[in-house]
Structure 1
Amino acid sequence: MVRTTTLLCAAAALAVGAAVPASAQSSRAPMDPNPVVVVDCFSQAQVRPREYLLACGDGGNRLVGLRWDSWGRWTATATGTDMVIDCTPSCAAGRLRPYPVKVTLDHPRPWPDHPGLRRYATIRLLYTDTAPPPGAKDVTYKLVY
């Protein structure tokens, strides 16, 4: 009886893991049968990514060193660094500059291409020191890829 129960629990755990794309699984968090993901520039689902590209076209804005305080059904919060090209003397010749930032993902919505998964629809960046010029210290973007 104990062996049958153990096998059934293991099979259920495997079935839950198989329902979530490998790219959305994370070894840092317990498996959630209905995870909320953040979708990157390449339409890949991410859970607690350490890096996240904000400027899909030229790569001139990237969140790095993300440390996630929470990853929930409604919001996710992290701290990290926003690396932004300074565009001096031009964006092509500019250098990446670091800006400490708090990140909040929220407004989860169904992901039409992946039934059963929801994706965060907005990202809020709150710069804890200075913001990249000429930007504000508190900005929110829609995440629609």
Structure 2
Amino acid sequence: MRMGALTTAVTLCAVASLATAAGTPPAARSVPAPAAQTAQQPTVLPVLVDCFWHPHIRPADFMLACGDGNSRLTSLRWSQWGTDSARAKGVNWVNDCKPYCAAGRFHAYPVTVRLDHPQPWKKRPQLSHYSRITLEYTDRRPERYAQTVSYPLWD
């Protein structure tokens, strides 16, 4: 009886080892050659971090005022998204907050958007994110806004 139990245990271990080895893809079992490790990695483009800490590349919409939602960008059409900067045209919807923000009305202003100053992102240091946004109003603009305004972006 003892010999049968020992034989069964050895057989089960052998089958488990073979199953594990067969289920592992060949690339996972091999160690890459040093030359392959030094190959140049593709450049990862900076991201735009939204109010919920999600990274985006070329988003169609972007909330500028995360706390109250009183300023947002929509209809963004990106002409450039590079390692140093990004450019788009779109619409900035801004609440006039008259007589107060909850009772205010949103107005649309055409803008050119520029993202720049890429920095490592604290949440995911392997990614860089644009740390500044600049809006240039191409027609009308909200009261008390300059023609061109820049804001730091959150990290």
Same-fold call, TM cutoff 0.5: yes
Match of 1:45 among 49, 55, 61: 55
**Does the alignment pair 1:108 with 2:118?**
yes
Q: What is the one-letter code of the residue matched to 1:76? A: A
Q: Percent identity among equivalent residues? A: 48
Root mean square deviation, CA, Å: 1.4
- Structure 2, unaligned runs of 5 or more: 1-26, 28-41
* Alignment partner, residue 131 of structure 2: 121
Match of 2:83 among 67, 73, 79: 73
Report the Cα distance in structure 1 between the residues aligned to 2:62 and 2:148, rounded to whole angstroms. 18
Displaced runs of 4 or more, over 2 A: none
Q: Which structure's residues are more often helix, by fraction?
A: 2
Report the Cα distance in structure 2 between the residues aligned to 1:33 and 1:114, rounded to whole angstroms. 16
* Alignment partner, residue 138 of structure 1: 148
Q: Normalization by structure 1: what TM-score?
A: 0.76
Deviations 1:23-66 (A, max 9, x none): xxxxxxxxx65121010111110100000000001111000000
Larger Rg: 2
**Does the alignment pair 1:60 with 2:77?**
no
Note the C-alpha offset of 1:131. Answer: 1.3
Note the C-alpha offset of 1:116. Answer: 1.6
Most deviating of 111-120 and 77-86: 111-120
Is the Cα contact below 8 Å between 1:85 and 1:91 reproduced in 2? yes
Q: What is the one-letter code of the residue matched to 1:88? A: K
- Structure 1, unaligned runs of 5 or more: 1-7, 9-31
Is the Cα contact below 8 Å between 1:34 and 1:116 reproduced in 2? no
Note the C-alpha offset of 1:74. Answer: 0.3
Report the Cα distance in structure 2 between the residues aligned to 1:119 and 1:83, rounded to whole angstroms. 24
Aligned length: 115
